[in-house]
Structure 1
């Protein structure tokens, strides 16, 4: 391991340089990085401490601590987020009448986002404290006075200017040197599973791993553990796409790409009738993050963290789903490995080891009754649409869902609205503009891959928003970059060792899949 430090013009930097010149540091410590390698987080010249280790030929792990707390950051109480200045004035007037001293923080979007208006909203707040407990007491008083949406926050978590601090972990893979492979791994090896990244890394014998795509957490939103977006594992499509969101693609040639990926799943009966499946390996009727097809409500557009519904669907189940299909109203047909219908039954039953099951609900039951009876065959075809071009699934090894895109062709370009992260002002502010833990993926101009976690919601690391994520990846050399699942899911492991600090109070969160870096 070697350690490199970037101190800007701080006193620490002077002491470091002096010790280096007089030989007070060991020979494996090198001088400050050129300014061009400084992370684009906070103001220029903030102190950085870096530790880098080669964990295999072509694979390096780097930990970076940057910045410090700013004196102007305080605990405050958000009373409400409103969309117009007039609303903020009216609420402030009411608060003053109730004996409070409110102030307003304007929330603005950045020029890199695909959103027309840049003045997003206004935060009406009360109180500024150095101690969180004081803000909590004020929050309780506001709730008693009828302000039910009051919530305590630390202003460093806003998208306003800050000096940090940040804790960043980076895995960089040079595909020309690295002799192993990078793939997606399902939790517990099945769609319905959830598993900690450290356990996935240990189980697969990975050199390193990070959490992957968005997934269903609870049963009210579908099948827990099921990826909420496209997923391919070991060349098998296991989850349909959310519209054509940005995803991370690994081809059979082991080249990586960040691209817009959609899916098409079609069925053709031996009698010539054809239809389209709504999805695969999930509970019918619940479409996490929307972006589906065929009458989904309230929308067929992507809408992150919203569960759309559809009472008439065809859903394909594979053995990788795990065990049995979900029981419920409707009809199922069981197909053997050749696509021949071998059973028609009520919904809920075993998935054959070398076959599939098609479940129908609502009006789609009629298609199965007419075109999928015993003795008939149903040919199911699966197609990926990558950046608008159809690609056979056998040309792709793994696909990991995510979004939005952050960098395209070397330029910051954040696709928040297009990919379903701007369906409401509150959601955009809370998910994209506020700082959270994030997991990011990028590709450098030389083809090297970057997997990055930024801890958040913690005293030693405040997290990043979408714009800061993009600037961070650009400063690391990425010419293509995207956001993966984040928040409490953000996790990095080296071997089976957890190297970041997940934000959930319960510790490391079980997730739906992970990106694993496997030795040869």
Structure 2
């Protein structure tokens, strides 16, 4: 909005990908081409008659190389293709089981085994597949203690209830999700956008048109008339009002940086990666590590703004700013607290500011203070904004922002790699994500840096959370850029044995690389992972309730 002013020199454009020569035109919209890849050797992907274009090469880097793989390409518009891939089949060796817990030491494993044996069952031990980033020897984080092997989920659920009656809590899991070598099946959908041919517009879009709202991807695609769309970044799901393990805050609040139509709507999780689309064409798309810098000035006094379009004191995924923020580094699925915050609320948040304690001032479109109050809430002016403060920040705001005062609000998105300000236009979109998957064609996984450390936070053991989130197969979404500048948006179905077993984070990186990406970032996944084409969901939601409403989406508009 116009009250915000950007400061500093623009950033350099960062990583660029070379353009390609002009290609043959005249593609048939909605043409469908199917190919069956019988082995893992390099080959064609079943494209139309020779049109001079390179599509996703080879086969997906999943399971044994000789798995059958079927690809169907649908041309949605010039420069836009939907690629549907099914790879492999379910193995008869996989089954449902009950996981009692994860032991990270011999003593913990022994205790879990004892509980199972006292309940009259035989424990089954399974080492976690995948490495613990904190262990130099490359070993996994521990050993899973399990009970039983069941043919069906219902049978496993009945066994879970019986064990619960005996005081043993367990989780129903399918072994195909463990992260070990599997045979599938995998169900993957990819949108491939070629900026040299694409004549439409590529943009991020808020669900329901506000920050404090959620909407399904299929609804967003249908409502906007988009050709296709995929879910975007992380967000607050459900409303909790206390810091700690999990996510808390206003439902729909974007848990990381967000820029839509050039406007900054949510602050960054310090240094985490994001997809940057400089304009609506999709050209020069990049994956960058970003931070945000916001402040207010009244006369000669200034104060840092610690948050944007959220309630104070709840910093989802941490990585916040300000002297009172407990964790300046990212910590995914953890909410940091801060009792001394200054938050800016713009009209995009919604009609009313979040309630709660603190001090609040209202600015009109000229930056003039038109109202002050103790406590939050109240309307957000359509052409102004609200400043909300707590603790020491509230004391500062009361002292300086009085009725009639002129307040200047400045904000910048900063490229951590270059230190420069990210240039923005009315067509710029930025979508939060993490972890970083690929950089220059090389695996770039750094769970400690991006917020997926299994280390304890505030005496809370995060090893089992890390194992489940990072090392187990889940539904995933990701965005990537190829060496010749095409944009790839991918979803993989998960937690559905027989349809789609999902991907580990490592597999997500390998899939993006096998699709041709050189830079890639993970987006929100799990029940949020969704892709819709022409208003119809083409992915299969992993939530039992069906497609999950999300906070934002990436849309391909005609």
TM-score of the aligned structures, taking structure 1 as reference length: 0.91
1:131 and 2:131 are equivalent in the alignment: no
Whole-Å separation in 1 of the counterparts to 2:255 and 2:188? 26
How far 1:136 sits from its partner (Å)?
2.7
What is the aligned partner in structure 1 of residue 480 from structure 2? 442
Whole-Å separation in 1 of the counterparts to 2:465 and 2:323? 24
Whole-Å separation in 2 of the counterparts to 1:129 and 1:494? 36
1:360 and 2:392 are equivalent in the alignment: no
How far 1:90 sits from its partner (Å)?
4.3
Cα deviation per residue 1:290-323 (whole Å; 9 max; x = unaligned)? Answer: 1112255653321111222222211001111110
How far 1:208 sits from its partner (Å)?
0.9
What is the aligned partner in structure 1 of residue 174 from structure 2? 154
Residue 351 of structure 1 is aligned with which of 380, 383, 390?
A: 380
How far 1:9 sits from its partner (Å)?
8.7
Whole-Å separation in 2 of the counterparts to 1:128 and 1:44? 28
Name the SS of the counterpart of 2:507 in structure 1.
helix
Is 456-465 or 336-345 further displaced after alignment?
336-345
Q: How many residues align?
A: 498
Whole-Å separation in 2 of the counterparts to 1:161 and 1:406? 20
How far 1:406 sits from its partner (Å)?
0.7
1:261 and 2:290 are equivalent in the alignment: yes
8 Å CA contact 2:56, 2:515 repeated in 1: no
Q: Which has the higher strand share?
A: 1
Name the SS of the counterpart of 1:216 in structure 2.
coil
How far 1:461 sits from its partner (Å)?
0.6
Cα deviation per residue 1:188-231 (whole Å; 9 max; x = unaligned)? Answer: 11111211111111222211100000111112111111111100
Whole-Å separation in 2 of the counterparts to 1:177 and 1:326? 44
Cα deviation per residue 1:253-298 (whole Å; 9 max; x = unaligned)? Answer: 842110111111111111x111111101111111111111225565
Whole-Å separation in 2 of the counterparts to 1:134 and 1:297? 47
Q: Which has the higher helix share?
A: 1
Whole-Å separation in 2 of the counterparts to 1:211 and 1:179? 22
Name the SS of the counterpart of 1:228 in structure 2.
coil
How far 1:377 sits from its partner (Å)?
1.5
Whole-Å separation in 1 of the counterparts to 2:326 and 2:55? 51
Residue 390 of structure 1 is aligned with which of 410, 417, 420?
A: 420
**Residues 1:161 and 1:290: Cα distance change in structure 2 (over 3 Å):** same
What is the aligned partner in structure 1 of residue 457 from structure 2? none
Give the unaligned 5+ runs of structure 2: 1-31, 241-247, 455-461
Residue 369 of structure 2 is aligned with which of 331, 341, 358?
A: 341
1:380 and 2:401 are equivalent in the alignment: no
Residue 224 of structure 1 is aligned with which of 245, 248, 251?
A: 251
Name the SS of the counterpart of 2:428 in structure 1.
strand
1:182 and 2:202 are equivalent in the alignment: yes
Note the aligned Cα RMSD (angstroms): 2.4
**Residues 1:321 and 1:334: Cα distance change in structure 2 (over 3 Å):** same
1:451 and 2:478 are equivalent in the alignment: no
Residue 324 of structure 1 is aligned with which of 325, 331, 352?
A: 352
Residue 96 of structure 2 is aligned with which of 59, 75, 83?
A: 75
What is the aligned partner in structure 2 of residue 242 from structure 1? 269
What is the aligned partner in structure 1 of residue 29 from structure 2? none
What is the aligned partner in structure 2 of residue 485 from structure 1? 524
Whole-Å separation in 1 of the counterparts to 2:412 and 2:198? 30
**Residues 1:299 and 1:387: Cα distance change in structure 2 (over 3 Å):** closer
Give the unaligned 5+ runs of structure 1: 11-24
